[in-house]
Structure 1
């Protein structure tokens, strides 16, 4: 008999139009409960979740009385989770069948503390998952560079690999997280809140493993409206720069100690802005 011992935590904001499509995939055999935190959505998220609870009795719904962002919401989920393991999900990402079982197996075989999944992002012109997967067979990258703060987990690898960091969609033992929580110093789009959480765990000498066979697929931007994408692009990138600076003020010294570098906050912040501008120019110029 398969043991149901995983708590899934998913913050959600104005994604009522996606929840009926996305959430059923998270109720995999090993899942004890799916905790969705409605971050004071202005659409009919509350009604959609209430209706879904009739079909999925192990769907737990928490309501924020004001919009408090994903950091606060994830922490609320952690505070009430009962499963032996925690998996952080996403309200616009399809969890592929068997992914939870795969991650539990990888954790056991590699003796990992944290297992990160592969997440692929669909383009607006892609209508099938197979198109997205095929594109990433050509374009997928595996980058885990703590010094430059560059990470990409879209490559399909032959076997799980150890790394500095993992995607936000991780499986971890609840006991290991303990009293650790997502920092609420990040505002707006909360950029770097996940990096903060992951690095805090890594600095405690926990072992991270990336398994590209554990797969989620993120819906294209034209469908995945709501959430952090509600903000316009200029505002989103401005908030990213501000939050990146907050992150560096907190962690730059520890990053240098791990990577044997001597980079200043200013150096890393300017490199981050340069990378943003380079990415923008490649896409639009």
Structure 2
């Protein structure tokens, strides 16, 4: 069986169609786990009806908004499948490619496979995604050819390691785990259910990621203050301690807020 984890937020226009498309596309045993991240529209009622209509759909209503990463981890944590799929709620990740991910992970000696595509919807998103991907790859000493997305499949054996590691982070990049990661190419679907995230929002998320999840600030401190090495080392160490504290705070907040309703 595979578990399909879908974090949802204000998805009233897309989530029913997404679930129906999954059902039409897949010819295997599966469960769909829908995590309602404290939506403010009619998503909760739609999910309730989906759960009543299909016994393989599970619904979790979070009492507080924890963001896409937190909601995704909440779903992974309660999954029952041998393999776990994560995907967006707006049909950008088309369900027909779930079969490709599932077939690939059975053939390859890997723990996670991430789906990637050549182009996003707009020039701005293409450029910002490319810059973010390259910069992140350099900071974690990985190949810049890797394109990280939220459309992925993983083996159940690594789900505890996966959730524990990323519970304190703003961005999921499986290359940071001590697991085998691969990629496959898939198509990308345009969606018109809601506006895409703005450049400002993407820059803010990237900034949080680089400051809290990488050693970028420490590198800058040491490079700028190389003439006063003792002071720069102390500042870099101080910021590292601050990072640890902030990540711990994020983790505790998510754990406390990931309380399940009906």
TM-score by length of 2: 0.66
User: Which whole-Å CA distance do the structure 2 matches of 1:179 and 1:166 have between them?
Assistant: 18
Quick one: structure 1 residues 175 and 266, their matched pair in 2 at CA, closer, same or farther if it must change by over 3 Å?
Answer: same
Give the aligned partner of residue 200 of structure 2.
234
Structure 2: state its 5+ residue gaps: 224-262
1:264 aligns with 2:236: no
Which runs of at least 4 in structure 1 moved beyond 6 Å after TM superposition? 149-153
Give the aligned partner of residue 208 of structure 1.
181
1:183 aligns with 2:166: yes
Give the aligned partner of residue 63 of structure 1.
61
Contact in 2 for aligned 1:6/1:83 (Cα 8 Å): yes
User: Which whole-Å CA distance do the structure 1 matches of 2:222 and 2:17 have between them?
Assistant: 43
User: How far apart are residue 77 of structure 1 and its match?
Assistant: 0.9
User: Which whole-Å CA distance do the structure 2 matches of 1:122 and 1:184 have between them?
Assistant: 29
Quick one: structure 1 residues 165 and 235, their matched pair in 2 at CA, closer, same or farther if it must change by over 3 Å?
Answer: closer
Quick one: structure 1 residues 96 and 13, their matched pair in 2 at CA, closer, same or farther if it must change by over 3 Å?
Answer: closer
Give the aligned partner of residue 210 of structure 2.
244
User: Which whole-Å CA distance do the structure 1 matches of 2:199 and 2:133 have between them?
Assistant: 26
User: Which whole-Å CA distance do the structure 2 matches of 1:41 and 1:33 have between them?
Assistant: 22
1:194 aligns with 2:149: no
Give the aligned partner of residue 17 of structure 1.
13
1:147 to 138, 152, 157: 138
Which is helix-richer, 1 or 2?
2
Contact in 1 for aligned 2:5/2:33 (Cα 8 Å): yes
1:219 to 180, 191, 199: 191
Q: How many residues align?
A: 211
Contact in 2 for aligned 1:10/1:34 (Cα 8 Å): yes
User: How far apart are residue 224 of structure 1 and its match?
Assistant: 2.6
User: How far apart are residue 33 of structure 1 and its match?
Assistant: 0.6
User: How far apart are residue 90 of structure 1 and its match?
Assistant: 0.6
Cα shift readout 1:254-285 (whole Å, capped 9, x = no counterpart): xxxxxxxxx925699xxxxxxxxxxxxxxxxx
1:172 aligns with 2:192: no
User: Which whole-Å CA distance do the structure 2 matches of 1:86 and 1:243 have between them?
Assistant: 24
Contact in 2 for aligned 1:89/1:169 (Cα 8 Å): yes
User: Which whole-Å CA distance do the structure 1 matches of 2:200 and 2:121 have between them?
Assistant: 22
Quick one: structure 1 residues 19 and 148, their matched pair in 2 at CA, closer, same or farther if it must change by over 3 Å?
Answer: same
